[in-house]
Structure 1
Amino acid sequence: MNKLITSLLIIIAVAVMISCQPRPTDGQNASTNDQDTVASQNIQPAESGYADVNGLKMYYEVYGHGNPIVLLHGSFMSIPLNWSHIIPRLAKDRKVIVLEMQGHGRTRDTDRALSYEGMADDVSGLLKQLRINSADILGYSMGGGVAFQMAVRHPEQVRRLVVLSGTYTHDGWWPDVEASFATMTPEMFKGSQIEKQYDSLGNDPAHFPEFVKKVISIDLKPYDWSKDVKTMKTPVFLAIGDADGVQYEHALELFRARGGGKMGDIHGLPQSRLAIIPGTTHIGMMQRMDWLIPMINDFLDADLNAPPPTF
């Protein structure tokens, strides 16, 4: 198990280092990719700052114009680590709101326990301060859990939900993945990009071990939101990798509960969607945006009440 965790952390460090760089699409030459890299580095937020929500000073940034979408990062991550290569692509025709949740990035921690429910309430509070009545919510990993809780606790603020590699029960992870959470320690992150970004954003390095333990704590407590998630009215697009940490059955169970598991040509298309991305790990999901962004845009822009195509 220790070898598994050490390998996982090495992968995290490598993934973090490359996550800020956009991947070339098929047929894209090196010079075009260089231009995209420059564009992603030069993009500036139209608005940024700190919002007072639930005892936090939550850091946020806003990019672009159009229908709003909120991006919720994964465990230990920050805006630049999780979203820098994705913001420019979504901000072409959407208002993109990115934030750093409790204890992450530039949002300082408080004495409050970390929880999916509490972080969802914080996101809700930020949207109210920004005077955004309803938005699409996209969450990755830990952010996927927060996204589920946004739709459960604040459904009036959520138009559509996109969850990448997230679970709605603690045992939605493969058993060895769930068991690994209890073995993770701050020492395993020593010298990693996670630790370096924590220090670089003005946090006290002495508090890094406490930060790691607090983030891990939310997955050491059993949780099961099945009933609420399966019956909520918000349309969901759930995507996992075929080599993800999330069990296939977990994703399929939700999709079936949301109207999937039938032939759409006979029964019509469900409002919710499911994708299992080939050749993709949990961390590798963030490197599949060439595939995922067209799927996400299609889901967010689609008329979900339209009949299926006919001959």
Structure 2
Amino acid sequence: MKKLLILTSLIASNLSINAQSLSKSGYASVNGIKMYYQVYGEGKPLVLIHGGGSTIETSFGRIIPMLSMHRKVIALELQAHGRTSDRNSDLSFEQDADDVVGLLQQLKINNADFFGFSNGGTTALHIAIRYPKVVNKIVLGSALSKRNGVPAQFWEFMKQANLDNMPQELKDAYVKVAPDPSGLQIMHDRDAKRMVNFKDIPDEQIKAIKAPALIIIGDKDVIILEHALEMRRMLPGSELAIIPGVHGEYIEEITTLKSNSQQAGFVIQMIEKFLDNAR
């Protein structure tokens, strides 16, 4: 088993360096913003939605090579994040959902699977609620649907959030790719305000989602296990995977790399099996 994990890690590392088959990238004018996207590989479309304060690379850079071996992967950056411009309005998960679907319409993609991580998972829920015909299956990585899905101290922390305590890896990644690095403060403040004002998604809306869902969470995640179990019960036909590790470690999100996790290869195989199984 140990040899298998080491081999998987070596393969994933090699892929991340050598095999990112980027076939297209650019900007699309979507609902008043210039939205950046990348397309990798060929096959059934899989849309990747990053976490708060993140870029394509920080959330998914380590797993895009694996996913794009068998899929057409569409990775994007949301309002004020990374290379995508801001609009003169606060962030909302509903607006992000509209923006993602607007981009897909321009790319002439009528139906897709979605993998959202953290805030991106919450956005994926809103896409499934607002645009059910667009969604085939959804993978919800550490997604939050209710305020009680995180410890009470999380909300106190968010009220005190400032740029100084934002993870340095995320700050560096933003500055590296953003057309205007001074937008970092705007992105941070918009993200923090959205979380402070987070509103529960009503149970009836979650229960109405018809798309099969795979819920993934770390056993030391910021999202509490009971919340993941509650979503599992409310989403008909859903599956739940609890993986050892912290928030995002199972996909080797950039702030978790020091842990030297070797789980991404296994988790991607699990995701692919879920997506490929007949509905």
Q: Which residue does 1:289 correspond to in 2?
A: 264
Correspondent of 1:247 among 195, 211, 224 = 224
CA contact (8 A) 1:48 1:59 kept: yes
| Whole-Å separation in 2 of the counterparts to 1:224 and 1:214 | 18
| Structure 1 residue 33, shift from structure 2 partner | 6.1
Q: 1:37 to 1:139 in 2, by over 3 A?
A: closer
Give the alignment of 1:23-38 within 5 angstroms. Answer: 26-28=5-7, 35-38=14-17
Q: Which residue does 1:122 correspond to in 2?
A: 99
Give the alignment of 1:170-181 within 5 angstroms. Answer: 170-181=147-158
Across the aligned residues of Structure 1 and Structure 2, the Cα RMSD in angstroms comes to: 2.0
Q: Deviations over 1:55-81 (max 9, x none)?
A: 011000111111100000011111122
User: Structure 2: any 5+ residue segments left out of the alignment?
Assistant: 253-262
| Structure 1 residue 25, shift from structure 2 partner | 5.4
Q: Deviations over 1:169-201 (max 9, x none)?
A: 1221122223321121123248x2322222222
Other structure's SS at 1:57 match: strand
Q: Which residue does 2:239 correspond to in 1?
A: 273
Q: Which residue does 1:4 correspond to in 2?
A: none
| Structure 1 residue 30, shift from structure 2 partner | 8.5
Q: Deviations over 1:17-74 (max 9, x none)?
A: xxxxxxx95141897566334324xx24211110111001100011111110000001
| Whole-Å separation in 2 of the counterparts to 1:81 and 1:250 | 25
Q: 1:228 to 1:45 in 2, by over 3 A?
A: same
| Structure 1 residue 162, shift from structure 2 partner | 0.3
| Whole-Å separation in 1 of the counterparts to 2:101 and 2:47 | 11
User: Structure 1: any 5+ residue segments left out of the alignment?
Assistant: 1-23, 260-270, 305-311
| Whole-Å separation in 1 of the counterparts to 2:40 and 2:8 | 27
- Whose RCO is larger (CA < 8 A, sep 6+)? 2
Correspondent of 1:110 among 87, 90, 94 = 87
| Whole-Å separation in 1 of the counterparts to 2:148 and 2:217 | 15
Give the alignment of 1:157-306 within 5 angstroms. Answer: 157-189=134-166, 192-225=168-201, 226-259=203-236, 271-278=237-244, 280-287=245-252, 288-304=263-279
- In our comparison, the structure showing a higher alpha carbon Rg is 1
When structure 1 is superposed on structure 2, of 283-292 and 229-238 the one drifting more is 283-292
Q: 1:196 to 1:134 in 2, by over 3 A?
A: same
Q: Which residue identity does 2:72 align to in structure 1?
A: K
TM-score (norm 2): 0.89
Q: Which residue does 1:13 correspond to in 2?
A: none
Q: 1:247 to 1:27 in 2, by over 3 A?
A: closer
Moved over 6 A (4+): none
CA contact (8 A) 1:165 1:285 kept: no
Q: 1:44 to 1:299 in 2, by over 3 A?
A: closer
Identity fraction in percent: 36
TM-score (norm 1): 0.80
Other structure's SS at 1:28 match: helix
How many residues align? The count is 266
Q: 1:30 to 1:209 in 2, by over 3 A?
A: closer
Q: Which residue identity does 2:96 align to in structure 1?
A: M
| Whole-Å separation in 2 of the counterparts to 1:231 and 1:29 | 38
| Whole-Å separation in 1 of the counterparts to 2:270 and 2:8 | 23
Q: Which residue identity does 2:251 align to in structure 1?
A: M
